[in-house]
Structure 1
Amino acid sequence: MNVNRRKFLQLTFKAAVVIGAGNTLQSFAASDFILPSKDKIRLRFAVASDGHYGQPDTKYDILHDEMIAWLNAEKKDRGIDFTMINGDLFHNDVTFLPKIKMKLDGLQMPYYVSHGNHDMIHEDAWEQTWNTRWHYTFEQKDATFLVLNSADDKGTYICPDLAWTKEQLDKHQNKKQLFVFMHITPFNWTKAGLPCPELVDIFNKQSNLKAIFHGHDHDEDNVKENEGKYYFFDSHIAGNWGTEYRGYRIVEILKSGEIITYQMNPAVQQKVNTNNI
């Protein structure tokens, strides 16, 4: 199967979104977009979610092995500074927690996790495994990342801790770029969102907040907008429903200040690669 670079991109991701330095958004079909050279990238990361490790009647072990292999291949090719696993790491049964931890340790780059509604475990036990609370921050280069929690230990949807979130947003308001990871979207624009209008209000007032990333809705792999803030979804790693493909989202922060993000269909990439581009 002989394909040129543009055709290859069209096969592997559906569209590219560029967030400009002034928070303007432009969308491009994959066939009309060429990625910048690697030397223009300041920070590159992946977002994947909803592995549901241990879900009955699914091939969760094999599917995780495939996803980890794809992400490691990304690391070797264009580079990945870190990966975020954005919730629902395991499926209800806490005995799968050490197993998914061992599996994710196969990633050949730093990784972070967020808590999802199917990660049914007390926060203290979660911290013993991941060394973080459900709400935390981290920094990569000159970007700051907030990780918010949107479910309790029984799987009930909840809005993130508003006071903590506001405190952290104020603390990091002078950072050049700020991003949020939270499993469940704070709107009812999907089948399984939970409206959190107070949270959305403080998001809208945060000038350096560039993007919010969600999992949870396995059938969503697009971007939604509210008051100039952009909410991205990334399909699913495993589970028994969702988009026809399993994928992950790539985010590239350029030295120019622009941000490029696109959703990957790695199974197609593997198929193309095996046919000798």
Structure 2
Amino acid sequence: MANRRTFIANTLTGIAGITLLPAINTFAAGHDRIERLAPKKLKLRFAICSDLHYGQEGTDFDQNAANIVKWMNEEHAANHLDRVIINGDLVHNRPDLLPVLKERFFDKIAVPYHTIPGNHDFADTAIWKKAFGYEDKYVIEQGDIAFVFANTADTKGVYVCPDNAFLKASFDKLTDKKMIFVILHIAPVQWLKEEATVFLDCPDTVKLLHSYPNIKAVFHGHDHSLDGVRYTDKLPHFFDSHTGGNWGTDYKGYRIVEVSDDNQVYTYQVNASRNPNLNANKF
């Protein structure tokens, strides 16, 4: 996968309007470096992770699930988290394991957590509501910040564009918010021809995302080899590596997002299995 990531980075450098930023502070140890860079007073701090693939044969999925709980609780104890987002592919083709995963692991996370299906969850509104008590598309508000979640796959794992009617209705109701973060497991744009089977081609979704100036960023999982940022026009789309499964980046990790009182956003990728912080960006 390292060769594929190098190819993508080199290719995107020459494409106008699309950027895959290089990692910075890659060798910073622990959280001390981040605390010196980030504002001391924050209105929001959250973690986002994805792609656990609980139940996948040949992987230590119980340990991977336990690691998410451990990492999130340690992160919260060290520097407070307001919430945790788990962005798709919670299980591996086994929707029957969703309630097991919730009860055995996720309910032990010490802060509020929110989930959304990925293509391997084989889930729709009914399945998600039965497992988690809420639908597969919804809105969370925290003060003058909002999160909008939407499903990007069906119960057979087929990629589908998110419900644009739901997205538009949600964005219209949130125009008074300072910023919106959008959570979509599969990205709605194919940056490269070679990625036609990796991401979705949803021009109407992208147009919607660009139509609301308070949409600050979009967060995706799905491609375990990506842990940085790409752009559609000036809108950043962030990735967060993976927390399980049998492919992707050499490490397993998650992303931290911090919003200051003056609405500056700072985000960085955490290599949870080897400690360095990766792909830090201020936007």
TM-score range, shorter chain: 0.7 to 0.9
Match of 2:149 in 1: 147
CA displacement at 1:134 relative to structure 2: 1.1
Q: Which amino acid aligns with 1:179?
A: F
What SS does structure 2 have at the residue aligned with 1:241?
coil
CA displacement at 1:89 relative to structure 2: 0.7
Match of 2:15 in 1: none
Q: Which runs of 4+ in 1 moved over 3 A?
A: 31-39
CA displacement at 1:95 relative to structure 2: 2.4
Match of 1:264 in 2: 270
Matched, 1:132 2:134: yes
What SS does structure 2 have at the residue aligned with 1:50?
coil
Return the alpha-carbon distance in structure 2 between the equivalents of residues 96 and 38 of structure 1.
40
CA displacement at 1:125 relative to structure 2: 2.4
Q: Equivalent pairs: percent with the same residue?
A: 40
In 2 relative to 1, CA 259–246 (structure 1 residues): closer, same or farther, beyond 3 Å? Answer: same
Q: Which amino acid aligns with 2:43?
A: R
TM-score (norm 2): 0.82
Structure 2 residue runs without a partner (length 5+)? 1-20, 277-283
CA displacement at 1:133 relative to structure 2: 1.2
CA-based RMSD: 1.9
Q: 1:209 aligns with which of 209, 212, 215?
A: 215
What SS does structure 2 have at the residue aligned with 1:268?
coil
Matched, 1:218 2:219: no
Return the alpha-carbon distance in structure 2 between the equivalents of residues 124 and 183 of structure 1.
18
Contact 1:48 1:236 in 2 (8 A): yes
- Counterparts of residues 15-54 of structure 1 (less than 5 Å): 29-30=24-25, 34-35=34-35, 36=37, 39-54=40-55
TM-score (norm 1): 0.84
Report Cα offsets for 1:99-119 as digits up to 9, x if no partner: 111211111110000111111
Return the alpha-carbon distance in structure 2 between the equivalents of residues 180 and 49 of structure 1.
14
In 2 relative to 1, CA 258–119 (structure 1 residues): closer, same or farther, beyond 3 Å? Answer: same
Match of 2:233 in 1: 227
Match of 1:119 in 2: 121
Return the alpha-carbon distance in structure 2 between the equivalents of residues 199 and 253 of structure 1.
25
- Counterparts of residues 22-101 of structure 1 (less than 5 Å): 29-30=24-25, 34-35=34-35, 36=37, 39-101=40-102
